[in-house]
Each structure stands twice: as C-alpha cells, then as structure tokens.
Structure 1
Amino acid sequence: MIKNKIKSVFFILLVWTIFIPNSISALENQDLPLYSESFILLDAQSGQTIYEKNSQVQMPPASITKIATAIYAIEKGHLEDIVTVSENARNVDGTRVYLEVDEQVPLIKLIQGLVINSGNDAGVAIAEHLSGTIDEFIIDFNSYLKEEIGVQHTIFKNPHGLYDPEHMTTAEDMAKITRYAMKNETFMEIFQTSELAWDGQTWDTTIVNHHEMVRDKEYEGISGGKNGFVQESGFTLVTTANREKISLIAVTLNAMSHCLIMGSKILKLNWLWQMNILKIT
C-alpha cells in the first residue's frame, strides 16, 4: 500500500546514502517534492546537512518540543528526585499521563511519560520542579538551548509544545537539539522505548510511543523518535535511525501527515529495495 511505502522514507534515504555514489551531492541536485513546509535530513555524526527545505524558517513545533525538555531535565535535574505534582500540572490541556494533584513521581518517570506518551502534565511538573515556576523555567530553558546547544532561531514559551504564537523553532535547530541529546545514554534509552508499564496514582496502563516507526518492529534501524500535532503547527516529526556506519536525523515541520512523501524517484528506489535488488546486510 502507498501508505506503507511513504512511511519508509527514512530507510529509502539510508539506502540512497549507502548504495549510491556521491549520494549527498546527488540529493542536493534533486528537486524532490516534499509534502512538508520545512524539512532537514542531517548526518548525526558529522552534523552535515544532507538535504533540506526551508530548514531555517521559524515554525511552531508542537510536541517535538519535548525532546528539548527531556534532555534539559536529564542534564540539569536529579533523576532520582521525587516530584510533587501541582494543580497547574494536573489541569494542563492536551495529551496527559493523568497525574493527580500532590502525586509523588520520580523525575525519571516524568521524563519517560513526557517523551513516550507525550504527557503535557509531565512537562509542567518537570518545569515547576526544576525552576519553581513555568516563567522561571522558560528563562532557564532558553538560555540552556542557546548557550549549551547553540540554537539560533528557537524560543520556547512552555515545556510541552502547546501552541503559543511566540513558541517557535526551525527544522535545523530541532536537528541540532536532537543531535546533542543523542549523545546522552539516558535520553536515547527513553527516546527508543516503544512501550512502558505505567503505574500511576489513578492510571495503571502500558504507555505506547506515539511515533509509529519507533513502536513498529518492521522498521529495522530506527533508533528513536517523537511526533507532534496541534492545529496551528500541522504534523511535526523527529526521527533518528542507524544503518551500519550511517546515523541520520530527520525533522519535518508542518507536514500534511506523519508520513513524509519524497516523490516518485525515491519511491522507485524504495520499490527496488523491497524487491531485494538493493540489499543491506
């Protein structure tokens, strides 16, 4: 089915990179139609841009914001800390892990709920724990992103990505943030988790990663991912993958869906790969 084909774009690009000589220059010379307003494909090891479209244009990121919140919390917090959930966190809009007021939760568990189940309530609880208030957190958070990661065009107004007209980033900055975060083992362990048992005060369940390629074992080599959506941002997505010595980061902003469509030439390459004309051993 065409849906399955277009979801495989990450591995299409991996095949292109591995098997076609001068692949980076070849991609740069292609006019590939992208059904996403902004896109970047980055070599995670060198930081080199392989392909991009409007990657320095500021756009709302939705829940991929949580990648930045997670690495900030891991580096600046103490993972064994016990966090007391506030009413403010309990009542946040959007996707939640159903925290209750005064619930006691380890910081590491909140980060897991933030990334895997995209819990906005976990994001607020983390922010308040680290800085006391959301306003103070935003000051600390943006300083960290600029001074320690080196982003140039990002300003975050909350820890979760719910829409704010001033909450903006670029595909390039999100790739930089992800590349930085990938160096942290704790982050990567959470980032690639497909599902996790969740034992909450009032919510016992198994949380499942919202990124389909992370939770679907069909996509060998996927090393992590985070998706997002609010009406104002469209669909946003960060995906990382490894094949042999290749490590890639892809970021899309304001896409039509979480499936990235790269055009007939790439789909043809995917077909050749699926027919075992091209093989990765």
Structure 2
Amino acid sequence: MGTKLRHVCCTMMVIVILAASTNSAVANTEDTPNVHSEAAVLMSAKSGEVLFDKEANQKMYPASITKIVTGILAIEQGNLKDKVTISENAVDVIGTSVYLLENEEMKLEQLVQGLLINSGNDAGTAIAEHMAGSEEAFAEQMNTFVEEQVGVSNTHFTNPHGLYDDDHYTTAADMAKITKYAMKNSTFREIVATEELEWIGEGWETTLYNHHQLVRDHEEVTGVKNGFVSQSGFTLVTTYETDNDEYIAVTLNAPTTNDSYHDTKRLLEYGVDTYDTKTVEKGKQFEDGYGNEYILEHTTSITYEKDADLQFDIRNGSLIIEDDDQVIRTEPLKQIEEEVEEEVEEEVEEEEKVEVHQEENPTFIDRLLQFLNLK
C-alpha cells in the first residue's frame, strides 16, 4: 500500500453514506483530511465515487493539467506515427518548453511525450495545429470531447497548454472524471507513468524527468500531471494504485508546490486508510430465496468504508447491496430462465421461418411431381 504515503490508521466511527445516484461515498467523520488547496477531490477510479470533496464544483484555472485533455485527445483521435512540422507560432509560445525548432519534423507520439512528461507548451501548440489547424480550433475539439466523450459540463478550454485565459477553466470534480477517462487508455497510462525519457530533437538532446514528483518517488503513483500559472496557483492531478482500486486526487490553487504535494498525500493516505473497493463482475450468478437464478448484466464496483459489513440480497429481480440495513447500491439482474426461454423462442421462430421458406420455394422434384399430377 506504499508505506511512504501512509500514516498510522486512526480508529474511525463507521457510518457509510453511499448513494449511487450521486456517486458519493464521503465518510461522515471528523478525521477527513485538512487540505490547503482551494478545491480538491478524491475519487475511486473503479466506482467513480467521490470520497473527499472540497469546493469540487467551483470553477478554477487549471494551468498545465489542461495537457491531460490535449494528450488523451491526440492519442485517441490522432495518428501517433504522423510527422508534425513545427511552426514559428509553436516555437514562440511562452512557458515550459521542449525547445522545438521551426520547420523541425517530429512524430506526434514524441510531442505527446514531451507534453505530458516535460509539460512542453510548444509541444501543445504543435499538437493543436497538427490536429485542428490552430489552437482555437483545437480548443473547440477539446470542449466537445470533454462534454460528449467524458460527460463533464463545467469545463471550458481556450488553448492546449493551460496558459492563463479568463475563459479557460475547469473544476476539481470535472478533472477527476477526465482523468478517470484518460487513465483507461493504455498509451496514455504508459506516458504519464514514465519517470524519465531520452529526448532527441534538433534543438535539444537530453533526458526528460517527469515533472510530477510523486511519479518519480512512489511506485504506486501511476500519474499524471502538475501545473502552475500565477492566476491558478499550483495544480496537481495524481493517480495511486491499490490492491483493489486506483484513487484519483485533484488539488487546485494550492499556495505553494509543497502544499499541493502535501495535500495530495493527505488525500491518498485518507483513501488508503479508510476505504476499500469490491468489484462484482458481469455474469456473476445469484439465487434468491425461492430458488430463482439471476446473472449480473454489468460489472459494478462499490467503494465503502473498511469496517463496513456489506450484505448482498436479491429483491424484485435486483441485487441489493446494504450496510447495516442501509441500501447503498441497487443493480438490475436478469433471470436465467427467462434468458433460456427467449433463446428457445428465437430458435423456434427461426425453424418456422425455414419451414415457411421451404414451402414457398418448392424444389425441382416438387415441381416435377406437380407437373405429372403425382403430388
């Protein structure tokens, strides 16, 4: 579980407040972490449940964590083998750089690496121009992507790198959902977990070291991105793998970089010490008190406080998950007998269709017998 990130677990009153409709599993306890960042979220990547929430829906400036969206969009909608020609506009962009040169050619994949590992603003502009022709057009693609593919509505981008713009904003809750989506992509996961990378470009040959300090220091940390501009303060998005889950911690507008990392550690310690996640796989069979058998149609995960006593029951054809007689999750089931009957009915219908088809289409022998009046 990563002893470097854990404190001695405190004795906690176990009161599970878990509502599927709101995807929230925030513990009702005075031992929740005290964070200095203006906004923060801790989320379970498997269940999507929010375990800690501080001003989670407040609109904030994201800075370079914007590049999470630029990176996953380039990976999913671009061709990483494409050669990108670097423009003067990309070379001249201010801020963190991978020192691209005008008219240099570089694979899109390497630009995404430079974007996510070394936070290259020039790489972000080059990606945007290659994908959409301009930063402005690419920003529209980003907005459509997070709204339609990820399903967030309190985020708006005006550029691919996160340099300040009054109309460039997100929320801690939205960034957690965006990160949950992005981390499902194996290429994205591999890049943001890279501790160091040999970089060879026309203007720069060096070793890139991941700007996210915890990625370099802790094996359990699997990504993803840090950021800073003066208007946003220090921003940080982190994923941390446990035995049964992966936690997503987002902190926005921390006063210092140390505060952002300390807040993140507190959130992760809280998640590891307080919660566990159980996943019930699709196809799992259940039987009710009357001998009726059911199967779960969709894999479901539930995050709960460690001392909770989960109970599983079948009522009215649904899987009911309870703790101390409090329903915390309801999942639809499909009765196995009904499934078999439907398959049999489909087979009978197919046989009837074949018989009708055969009657409507007599063979040559049938036609010959009819002609000879023998049939």
User: How much does 1:27 deviate?
Assistant: 3.7
User: How much does 1:156 deviate?
Assistant: 0.5
Letter of the 1:248 partner, please give it.
Y
Contact 2:247 2:271 in 1 (8 A): no
Alpha-carbon distance in structure 2 between the residues aligned to 1:109 and 1:86: 16
Give the SS at the match of 1:93.
Answer: coil
Distance change >3 Å, CA 28–CA 157, structure 1 → 2? farther
Higher Cα Rg, which structure = 2
Give the match for residue 352 of structure 2: none
Letter of the 2:261 partner, please give it.
C
Give the match for residue 50 of structure 1: 51
Alpha-carbon distance in structure 2 between the residues aligned to 1:16 and 1:81: 50
Alpha-carbon distance in structure 1 between the residues aligned to 2:209 and 2:195: 6
Give the match for residue 318 of structure 2: none
Give the match for residue 230 of structure 1: 229
Distance change >3 Å, CA 130–CA 40, structure 1 → 2? same
Give the match for residue 29 of structure 1: 29
Question: Residue 261 of structure 2: which of 256, 259, 275 is its match?
Answer: 259
Letter of the 1:29 partner, please give it.
T
Alpha-carbon distance in structure 1 between the residues aligned to 2:261 and 2:215: 13
Distance change >3 Å, CA 28–CA 194, structure 1 → 2? farther
Give the match for residue 203 of structure 1: 204
Alpha-carbon distance in structure 2 between the residues aligned to 1:253 and 1:267: 18
Which TM-score applies when normalising by structure 1? 0.85
Give the match for residue 86 of structure 2: 85
Give the match for residue 76 of structure 1: 77
Give the match for residue 324 of structure 2: none
Equivalences for 1:96-111 in 2 at 5 Å? 96-111=97-112
Which of the two has greater helix per residue? 1
Equivalences for 1:162-181 in 2 at 5 Å? 162-181=163-182
C-alpha deviations, 1:95-148, integer Å up to 9, x for none? 000000000000000000000000000000000000011121111221111111
User: How much does 1:267 deviate?
Assistant: 8.6
Letter of the 1:222 partner, please give it.
V
Which segment drifts farther, 31-40 or 246-255? 31-40
Which TM-score applies when normalising by structure 2? 0.64
Distance change >3 Å, CA 74–CA 268, structure 1 → 2? closer
C-alpha deviations, 1:46-76, integer Å up to 9, x for none? 1000011001000000000000110000011
User: How much does 1:22 deviate?
Assistant: 4.5
Alpha-carbon distance in structure 2 between the residues aligned to 1:269 and 1:74: 30
Distance change >3 Å, CA 268–CA 243, structure 1 → 2? closer
Which of the two has greater strand per residue? 2
Give the SS at the match of 1:260.
Answer: helix
Give the match for residue 297 of structure 2: none
Contact 1:55 1:171 in 2 (8 A): yes
Alpha-carbon distance in structure 2 between the residues aligned to 1:181 and 1:263: 22
Give the SS at the match of 2:75.
Answer: helix
Give the match for residue 363 of structure 2: none
Distance change >3 Å, CA 152–CA 28, structure 1 → 2? farther
Contact 2:140 2:157 in 1 (8 A): no
User: How much does 1:269 deviate?
Assistant: 12
Give the SS at the match of 1:259.
Answer: helix
Alpha-carbon distance in structure 2 between the residues aligned to 1:89 and 1:164: 18
Alpha-carbon distance in structure 2 between the residues aligned to 1:85 and 1:262: 36
1:61 lines up with 2:62 in the alignment: yes
Give the match for residue 242 of structure 2: 243
- The two structures, once aligned, show a CA RMSD in angstroms of 2.8
Q: Give the gaps of 5 or more residues in structure 1.
A: 1-7, 271-281
Compare relative contact order (CA 8 Å, sep 6+) and give the higher one, 1 or 2: 1
Letter of the 1:214 partner, please give it.
V
Alpha-carbon distance in structure 1 between the residues aligned to 2:95 and 2:45: 31
Distance change >3 Å, CA 263–CA 27, structure 1 → 2? farther
Distance change >3 Å, CA 191–CA 203, structure 1 → 2? same
Give the match for residue 220 of structure 2: 221
Alpha-carbon distance in structure 1 between the residues aligned to 2:198 and 2:15: 42
Give the SS at the match of 2:51.
Answer: strand
Give the match for residue 157 of structure 1: 158
Alpha-carbon distance in structure 2 between the residues aligned to 1:252 and 1:134: 26
* Percent of aligned positions that are identical: 49
Distance change >3 Å, CA 177–CA 16, structure 1 → 2? farther
Alpha-carbon distance in structure 2 between the residues aligned to 1:263 and 1:111: 27
Contact 1:35 1:262 in 2 (8 A): no
Contact 2:200 2:206 in 1 (8 A): yes
C-alpha deviations, 1:213-261, integer Å up to 9, x for none? 1012xx2311112100111100000000111112100000001233234
Which segment drifts farther, 232-241 or 22-31? 22-31
Contact 1:33 1:263 in 2 (8 A): no
